[in-house]
Amino acid sequence: MPEILIGSVVLCLLLSPQLLAGFLAKRTGRNFWFWFLISFLIPVISLIILIFLEDKNPRTESYALADHVDKG
């Protein structure tokens, strides 16, 4: 029984860079699975690349204010 627990913890620790890269990619508008797989080949480098890549999600700079909000 302790072997299963230790194996699960080790598996989670080994997959943490890949999951982090996947979620970071998804947050910046990129493909989760592509970066998840790339992170198996180059785990630390892929995270560094994702941090410095530009966000692909569209930013809405202008938005409508509620009627009761003063624009001043």
| The total number of structural domains that make up the chain | 1
Please indicate, yes or no, if residue 39 is contained in any of the structural domains.
yes
Please indicate, yes or no, if residue 9 is contained in any of the structural domains.
yes
Please indicate, yes or no, if residue 71 is contained in any of the structural domains.
no
Residue 5 to residue 67: CA distance in whole angstroms: 56
Please indicate, yes or no, if residue 25 is contained in any of the structural domains.
yes
Please indicate, yes or no, if residue 43 is contained in any of the structural domains.
yes
Please indicate, yes or no, if residue 36 is contained in any of the structural domains.
yes
Please indicate, yes or no, if residue 70 is contained in any of the structural domains.
no
Confidence bin at 56 (pLDDT 50/70/90) = confident
| pTM for the predicted model, two decimal places | 0.69
Token pair in block for residue 45 = 């480098």
Distances from the Cα of 37 to the Cαs of 18, 52, 70, in angstroms? 7, 19, 49
Residue 39 to residue 30: CA distance in whole angstroms: 14
Which residue's entry shows tokens 């890549």? 53
Confidence bin at 61 (pLDDT 50/70/90) = low
Residue 46 to residue 42: CA distance in whole angstroms: 6
Domain, as residue range, for 13: 2-52
